[in-house]
Amino acid sequence: MKTFEDLKNILVANYSEKDINLVIKAFHFASEAHRGQKRRTGEDYIYHAITTAYNLAKMKMDIASITAGLLHDVPEDTDFSYDDVKNNFGAEVAYLVKGVTKLGTLKYRGLERYAENLRKMFLAMSQDLRIIIIKLADRLHNMETLEGVRPEKRLRIAQETLEIYAPLANRLGMFRIKNLLEDLAFPYVYPDEYAWTMAQVKDRLKEEEKYIDKIKKFTQKEMVKSKIDYVQIKGRVKNLYSLYQKLLRKGKDLNKIYDLIALRIILRDIADCYSVLGIIHKKWTPLKGRVKDYIAQPKPNGYQSIHTSVFTDFGKVAEIQIRTREMDEAAEYGIAAHSKYKEVGLMGKKKNPPKWLRDLIDMQKTITDNAEFIKHIKNDLFLNQIFVFTPKGDVIELPENATPLDFAYYIHTDIGNQCVGAKVNDQIVSLDTRLKSGDVIEIMKDKKRKRPNPDWLKLVITNLAKNKIKSQLKNDSQ
C-alpha cells in the first residue's frame, strides 16, 4: 500500500514545485471526496487513488495524468461532479478523468459481446493515449488487491486483464506493466496451470540464480578491465505467464527454455553497448540466429536493446540483454517513458497514435459486423508478434504464422494485389511460407496485375489482408 509520502518522494525527484503543489491540491480534494469510503480489502479508498497516481509518477507521466490518477474515481463514486473537477483542476484534467470513467463502465461478458465497448476503448485511445495509460495504472492496483473481491467478479476482472489490458500494455511497449498484469491474473484465470508452472520452476530458479551470478561477476570484471562505466547489471527472471506460454510451445520441456533468467547490462551510451557485446562474444560463442540488434533496428513499438544467447564455460546457454538507461526505461514503460512521448508527441488530444492503432480505427470504419471485428482483434492485435524486415531494413510487426502475402498487404494494397512471388532471405519461397522473426522479405510484383487470386484467402492469416482481398474481389465483380 502506497502513502502520499511515497508519491511525494517520486514527485520531488522529477517534477517542479508548481506541479507538486497541483498534486497536493488534488490529494486533499480526493481525500475529502472519498472521506469514509472503504474498499473491499478494508483500507481507506484514498489509498487506491494514491497508488494509481504513484504508478503514473513511476512512469514519469505528465502532471495532468498524475492529477487525473488521484481524481479518476471522484465523479463516479462521490458527491463531486466533473464540473467540480474542471473548476478546480482545469479542462485537461477533467477530460482525462471523464475518459477513464467511461472505460470503467466496460464490463467483460465474453469477447464477442465486448465488441462495442472495445470500439469505444480504442476510439478513446486514438483521441488521447493517456486515458488508457491511466486505466492501466488503475488496473494494476486493482489486480494487486484482487483477493478482496468476491470470487465471480474476481475471475471476470482477471480474465479481462489477461485478454485485454495486458495485450494493450504489450502493444504500447509497456513490458513491465504487461508482465505484472499477466502474473497477477494468471493464478485466478488458470489456477491449475499456474500451480504446475510454479512447481516446474521452483528448484530450477535457485540453480539458475547461482549460474547467472557467475556470468554477472565475469562481465563486471571484464568491463572494469576495459574501463567501461556501467549503470547496472542485473538478472531478469522471465515472468511466469510468459514462461507457461513458452513451455506449451516447447512441449513442456523446461530444458528448452534458455531465457528463464537473463542477464541485463545497462550502460551509459550506445558505443558501450557494442563494446560489451564484443567482450561477451570474445569470451563465449554466440548461438547462431540468436543475436538480435534492436538498437540499430528498433521494434515498431520503439523497443531498443541488443539480445544475444551464448554458450558459457559453465555448460549452459545464457541470454544477455544490453541497453542504455534510456532504453531500459522505455522498455519498462514504453510509450509512457518520459523522453519518448515528449519527443514523438504521441500523447494528448489530436496527436498521431501508433500505426497499429490507426489501422485499428480504420478497420472499425470498414468492419461493421462485431464478430468480424473481434476476429480481427484476436488475430491481428493480440496474437504473439514476429518482427520481419523490408529490403530497406524497416521493421514490420506481424502476427505469428503470417505469410509473405500478409506482409505484402500490410505494406500496401497494391503491393498485395500485384504480388506474383516472394523472396525470404534472398531465397524464392511459396506464398504460404510461415515467416519468422528476423526474416527479410522482398515481394516480386507485376504492375499489370490488378486482381488478387481468390485462393489467397486460404493463405493469409491476418484479417487486414483478408479484408483487402475480399474488397478487391468484390469491386472487380461489380
> Could you tell me whether strands 261-267 and 317-324 are parallel, antiparallel, or unpaired per DSSP bridges?
parallel
Q: How far is the CA of 153 from the CAs of 109, 118, 142, 200, 389, in angstroms?
A: 11, 19, 12, 29, 43
Q: How far apart are CA 111 and CA 102, in angstroms?
A: 18
Q: How far apart are CA 443 and CA 445, in angstroms?
A: 6
- CA nearest neighbour of 42 among 84, 1, 4, 99: 1
- From 6, 19, 76, 332, active-site residue: 76
Q: How far apart are CA 339 and CA 325, in angstroms?
A: 12
Report which residue type is found at 357.
L
- From 44, 77, 222, 326, active-site residue: 77
DSSP string, 391-432: TT--EEEEETT--HHHHHHHH-HHHHHTEEEEEETTEEE-TT
Q: How far apart are CA 106 and CA 104, in angstroms?
A: 5
Residue 425 CB partners (closer than 8 Å, separation 6+):
439, 440
Whether 143 contacts 158, CB under 8 Å: yes
Is 77 one of the catalytic residues?
yes
Side-chain-side CA neighbours of residue 107 (13 Å): 4
- CA nearest neighbour of 335 among 320, 306, 356, 363: 356
Residue with cell string 466496460 = 106
Is 76 one of the catalytic residues?
yes
Give the catalytic positions in this structure: 76-77
